[in-house]
Amino acid sequence: MSRGPGHVIRRSIGIVFADGGLLTLSGTAPGGRGADHGEEPLLAVLCDPDAAPIAFEEALLSTEYGEDGVQRRATLELWLDPESGPPIRGGGTLISAVSAEIDGLQTRIAFFRWSVEGREGLGHYEIARARG
């Protein structure tokens, strides 16, 4: 999960779909320390324009980084119930990115173009790392 200096403390994604739906995904390293890929619990929620929010039982997030350490591509797998069929899948690609550092925390916010099960949207993918 880590690419670049410092331990990953938090990853978050927010997507606004062209149809008005929303998807959010957030994960924090256990105990506030850096975690290996797959150890971080992820929470994902989908809000369709005319329906109640749906929380997924399991979420996976994979990231491809560029030479500069900025997240370039990401894929999502979201399961309503891991036992009952295939996941919802999606992916995103980088539009642009910005970095900021405050109080020993370095944050990279990448703006992405997303497609999830054919639904197009725009959103962010933020990775926060502890410095030092």
Q: pTM of this prediction?
A: 0.87
pLDDT digits (tens, 9 = 90+) for 76-108: 999 998 788 899 999 999 999 999 998 889 999
Judged against a pLDDT cut of 80, whether residue 30 lies above it is answered with no
Rounded distance between C-alpha atoms, residue 41 and residue 58, angstroms: 9
Mean local confidence (pLDDT), 55-63: 95
CATH no. of 7-130: 2.40.370.10
Q: Which sequence spans correspond to the domains of the chain?
A: 7-130
